Chain A
Amino acid sequence: MSMRPLPVGLLFSSSLLLLLGLLAGNMALAMLAVAIMVYLIMTLVEGGTQARALPAEADTVVGEVSKPVTVTRRLEASGSPAVIVVSDELGDRFSSRTGKAISVLWKGRGDTDLKGRHQVVPVRQGRHKIGPMRVKVWNANALEEAFEVLPGDPVYVKTESRRKDMRALRNRRSVMILPMPVGHLSTMGAETTDFKEIREYRRGEGFRRVNWKASARRQRDGDFKPYVNDYEREGRRKVWLFLDCGRHMNVGTEEENALEHAGNLARTLSDLYLAADCLVGLVLFHAEGMLLPDNGRRQKALIARTLYGLDPGSSPSTMIGMVRKLKGHLRGGSPLYLVITSISEANASTLSSDLKELKGIGGKRSKVIVLNVRSYELSTRDELERMAARFMHLDQTIEVDKLRRDGWVVVDWDPREQSPAHVVHRMSEAGL
């Protein structure tokens, strides 16, 4: 944005008026020229503006996906009044029409610390960079060209998923009758010798279970509770989560898309099954990421990290490819397979054959549930578009019905209208 410097034009106008005034002996013309000169002299006396970018108060701001986050940028300015523009480059991880966040600030008289506040909306989970901060200064006299100061450091926005805490579910009955792998017996099965984790001592446990070394180590940090070794228990069964990360899952708006919702659902369900003492594994297809079944807090954290910042279509891997690759791990134990995808005419037939192969590997007692994310609704903004989405969903319904006729359990989920709790309820209704 280049601005025409004004002094040349004003000096010329002033000279012309003065010359005419001299030629005509006209005091009024000369005084009009003087008025322009006085204006220019005022700007000269006022001087320039200096500005400097200051480091941010915190280099990471925590927010939530699809919710506005305020990022504060600081700078120091002195000298004459000015209009200061603070801008930050935003990547594709933020909802932005122009790829920039801009704050326009007015700097009055004297030395002052200014704060530019950008409201940004992250559209993906992860740690996303904002900046580096650019500062451009326009002197308020409107006579000088704008200038830029040295850029400021970037800041980061860390976003968490909008995971539903299943413990807070009102309808706890749904959780109680949650479909479980066939072999699931109880969380109180006999202990094996497989080490699980170190956890806090609970009243009534034998002293032989206390891990004295670990307890002593934690005492140094001011934690005086005793810790015990926990071991895997018998009777736990496997749950495999298959998450489709294909490009067709990128349907929706910048702020809300099917993949984000599918990722949140996967995390919610994994938390739920981990809490029920199941071994939970995660397989992503059309994206990088795979976790063999395990349980405990570490597995919970690993699943969360794998689901963090999903990149649609970043890998050529397919569901059948992953199933064949993990054949050895998938076999046995009558696991429960949960496949989260968005069914369409294009992938329905492939999905059917993939599920057949998966079921074949898992054995007769294994269960397969397909969780179908209704993605068309996510792109709608008004009632008319919602109506169009319902028509488009008819095609999806035909494919879903075909899968159901083939004997597969398919649970439909409209993430805009229904919470993950609804999925749990529908899964339990499915009669598994």
Chain B
Amino acid sequence: MNGKVTCEPRWSSPFFMTMYAVAALLFSLFVLMNNQVYLGFSQEGSPAAWLFQTGGAVLIALLCLAVASMGLVNEGRMRLPYLLSWALYAPSLISLSNIDWFQALDVGYDLGSVHSALPGWVIFANGAVILGGELLLRCYRHWSDLGKGLVSEGADAAVTGTALDRALLHNAIRIGLSLAFALAVFSVLPLLSHSFEVLGYNIGRGYNYLALPIAAAFLILMLYLTFGLRPGKGDDGRPSRPL
């Protein structure tokens, strides 16, 4: 009864989670390869040009895969590929900034040195994929820890796996919807802004990129208040204590 072994493929298995991390990592690598930082290193005369010209990109890709594969060996290291992805993604993300802190601090760089050849929505999509992976990983760990605990207490491994698979699928759908919404808004906003300009509404021109973050700041404040004041569940499932 206990600990029944199942050979059914489970999409929430470490293998699929690792494959997602690898995909996110390769996407970040692709975005980096279209960034001025990478292109600058691979140009003639650069100290590392010989490495990039002799299949360096392949070596980096293999290194990334090796790091990602650690997740298969040790679930505790599944976050490593995401950290690496954020690191590869950072230059392209900075290129989307409207305030040039390099210039303001006079460090000898400007936003032009991290310019990306890719359109903004592709760069944002990369961020969404990494963030989605991180959120999914948190949910995966939550259910994985619960599943391991239950199986060690005597629950049937196959039945537990099926129930937790559905829970993780539920999380994945919500994460996907949230990111799709954000991507849609991010893609539509410049068009809306341009349309307003065409129509002659030029209120706050030059600072309209601040409008959404400020609105989001209010939203986050509301969320803090909502989650902070929300009561928990009692013995009978009714609210009894704050979280």
Contact = CB atoms under 8 A, between A and B. Distances in A.
Interface of A: 1, 3, 5-11, 14-15, 18, 21-44, 48-52, 68, 81, 83, 85, 87, 96-106, 108, 119-121, 137-138, 140-142, 144-145, 147-150
Contacts of A103: 155-156, 159
Contacts of A30: 212-213, 216
Contacts of A149: 235-237
Given A23-B99, A81-B170, A119-B1, A11 B154 contact: no
A8 B220 CA distance: 12
Interface string B132-171: 0001001100110110011011111001101110110011
A83 B209 CA distance: 42
A100 B154 contact: yes
Interface in B166-209: 166-167, 170-171, 174-175, 177-179, 181-183, 185-186, 189, 209
A147 B179 CA distance: 30
Contacts of A52: 236-237
B217 A22 contact: yes
A97 B209 CA distance: 61
A106 to B, nearest CB: 4
Contacts of B233: 48, 137, 144-145, 147
Nearest to A145: B232
Interface residues of B, number: 71
B127 A32 contact: yes
Interface stretch (B13-21, B37-45, B58-66, B221-229): B221-229
A102 B94 contact: no
Given A31-B124, A35-B131, A106-B163, A7 B243 contact: yes
Contact of A142 (B93, B139, B182, B217): B139
Contact of A106 (B167, B182, B235): B167
A144 B212 contact: no
B228 to A, nearest CB: 9
Given A40-B223, A99-B154, 15 more contacts: A14-B223, A22-B214, A25-B210, A28-B127, A34-B185, A37-B220, A48-B237, A49-B237, A52-B236, A101-B154, A140-B166, A142-B138, A142-B142, A142-B171, A145-B243
Given A3-B146, A11-B223, A102-B153, A27 B186 contact: yes
B123 A41 contact: no
Given A30-B213, A34-B212, A102-B153, A83 B163 contact: yes
Given A68-B1, A102-B155, A142-B143, A35 B178 contact: yes
Please list the 5 inter-chain residue pairs (A to B) with the smallest Cβ-Cβ separation, ordered nearest first. A25-B98, A35-B182, A147-B233, A102-B155, A98-B154
Interface of B: 1-2, 93-94, 96-99, 101, 120, 123-124, 127-128, 131, 135, 138-139, 142-143, 145-146, 149-150, 152-156, 159-160, 162-164, 166-167, 170-171, 174-175, 177-179, 181-183, 185-186, 189, 209-210, 212-214, 216-217, 219-220, 223-224, 226-227, 232-239, 243
A105 B150 CA distance: 12
Contact of B155 (A8, A33, A104): A104
A150 B238 CA distance: 11
B150 A102 contact: yes
B237 A51 contact: yes
Given A100-B153, A147-B232, A37 B170 contact: no
Contact of A36 (B131, B143, B243): B131
Contact of B171 (A44, A121, A140): A140
Contact of A34 (B167, B170, B182): B182
Contact of B166 (A34, A51, A96, A106): A106
Contacts of A96: 2, 154
Contact of A21 (B120, B153, B213, B236): B213
B146 A147 contact: no
